[in-house]
Amino acid sequence: MGERDAGARRARAAIPDATIARLPVYHRALAAIADRGVATVSSDALAAAAGVGPAQLRKDLSLLGSYGTRGVGYDVEHLLGQIGHELGLTQEWPVVVVGVGNLGHALAHYGGFAGRGFRLAGLVDVDPAQVGTTVAGTRVRPVAELGRLVAEEQAAIAIIATPAAAAQQVCEVLVGAGIRSILNFAPVVLGVPDEVDVRQVDVANELSILAFHEQRRHPLVEAVHS
Amino acid sequence: MGERDAGARRARAAIPDATIARLPVYHRALAAIADRGVATVSSDALAAAAGVGPAQLRKDLSLLGSYGTRGVGYDVEHLLGQIGHELGLTQEWPVVVVGVGNLGHALAHYGGFAGRGFRLAGLVDVDPAQVGTTVAGTRVRPVAELGRLVAEEQAAIAIIATPAAAAQQVCEVLVGAGIRSILNFAPVVLGVPDEVDVRQVDVANELSILAFHEQRRHPLVEAVHS
DNA sequence: ATCTGTGAATTTCTTCACAGCA
DNA sequence: TGCTGTGAAGAAATTCACAGAT
């Protein structure tokens, strides 16, 4: 990630990565609170809904600006808008999904795209047997059309849902087509140029981390060595 | 997470969370290197394969013990074994999946379970229409059987792949059944007792984080205010 | 000569605690 | 009085840089 010129144009100081990673959580918690018709939340209540501490929440929000009222709390709708704006969810992001296996299907049917600022803009697969079929109302296109698809849809974000073996190659095609943000479900570390942003979702890794802690609690019978 | 009694029985100092989260990545990178028949890796080479800096890798590994040889590097097989042992991947963990929608199907067919220390121990769904069907060779059972399933399989880890609305309730049933490690795909913050470990995987959150950075690079035409 | 292991320095992140407003 | 906003303190994580082993 680039992030040069800290403070250009007297801009608010850069928001820490850790905070950014929590903003979507706050956004969703707020949306749920708004749905219940609540107009105002305290940092305590919102923090509880988001699963963080109140101090953390206040600190995070204070980095975006002073959107609360002392003695009262935060206006739900207003804060929702501010966080949404900060996250770039005021526009709708077209997302291209590559790989129409089980996971690709799940993603294509995923209801969380719409309504959260994202739209399935296209499905792509390398497998000729998949190409031309329709999944969740969207036609599956060949990789050869990726460049055109990205250009037509002005897509900036792509999801890789291919097997591990195909991921790096697909990644290179995506980058070549102009994609600069990638969500990678394939269990490989993608090599990308500096200006491309990759986030990794890896089920086996997550399970391993859980297994580590689980093992700490219930170690297998193991000699207290020496 | 509990983690009391730091240093009980003269144990090695606790390994930082950030390190633990990287161990599965190292483990996989090493496995790939081992498959290529390479016997020894340097911290530079392994770090590159894992997508981290060499200093970070050496620091992380040094926390597990001194498994390298100065001037030479790390023995691939040995290090693989040590990390696997540390992560608890020497045993096979039975995993219960709740929710047999698109995501549940994808998980059931996921090839990354076996061979990485995990085994699909059971599929559960609330929907009576799903119960009794067979997915990926595994019969789908009702939630009522969760307790028995967990007990029979001695499962400690579960994956929630239900819609958001059902997640909290499913979570409570799982915890009641004795599950203490949960991987949650539903877009909700689960409320759990302290001793239960939850990890969250959320596609919309990940996309939002990407959108944030993307927006920073290509802001919508926006007046340079005031 | 090479590459690990690790204290120390640095940076980042979290938590505290209280001043400042409504 | 109640709750936010935020400097300051504290903790955690990363990076440096070099001593130490082969």
Task: Quick: pLDDT tens for B66-98.
Answer: 999 999 999 999 999 999 999 999 999 999 999
Indicate if the pLDDT at residue A219 is higher than 60: yes
> Is B102 in contact with A110 (Cβ distance < 8 A)?
yes
Shortest alpha-carbon distance between residue B8 and chain A (Å): 12
pLDDT for A4: 37
Arithmetic mean of pLDDT over chain B: 92
* CA–CA distances in Å: residue A63 to residues A11, A19, A66, A103: 12, 9, 8, 36
pLDDT for B114: 83
- As a whole number of angstroms, the distance between CA B75 and CA B210 comes to 37
Please name the nucleotide lying closest to B72, CA to C1': C3
Label residue A226 by pLDDT band (50, 70, 90).
very low
> Is A157 in contact with B199 (Cβ distance < 8 A)?
no
Indicate if the pLDDT at residue B54 is higher than 80: yes
Please state the rounded mean pLDDT for residues A101-112. Answer: 95
Domains of chain B: 3-86 (1.10.10.10), 93-205 (3.40.50.720)
Is the CB of residue B141 less than 8 Å from the CB of residue B124?
yes
Q: Least CB-CB distance to A102: which of B106, B204, B208?
A: B106
Label residue B220 by pLDDT band (50, 70, 90).
low
Indicate if the pLDDT at residue B4 is higher than 50: no
Indicate if the pLDDT at residue A222 is higher than 90: no
Picking from B87, B101, B226, the residue whose alpha carbon sits closest to that of residue B161 is B101
Burial per residue of B59-98, b for 16 or more beta-carbon CB atoms within 10 angstroms, e otherwise: ebbebbeeebeeeebbbbeebbebbbebbbbeeebbbbbb
Indicate if the pLDDT at residue B1 is higher than 50: no
Q: What percent of chain B has pLDDT over 70?
A: 92
CA A162 to chain centre: 18
Q: Which residues of A touch B205 (CB under 8 A)?
A: 21, 24-25, 28
A158, HSE (Cβ side, Cα atoms, 13 Å): 32
Provide DSSP, B18-54.
HHHHHHHHHHHHHHHHHHTT--EE-HHHHHHHHTS-H
User: What is the pTM assigned to this prediction?
Assistant: 0.94
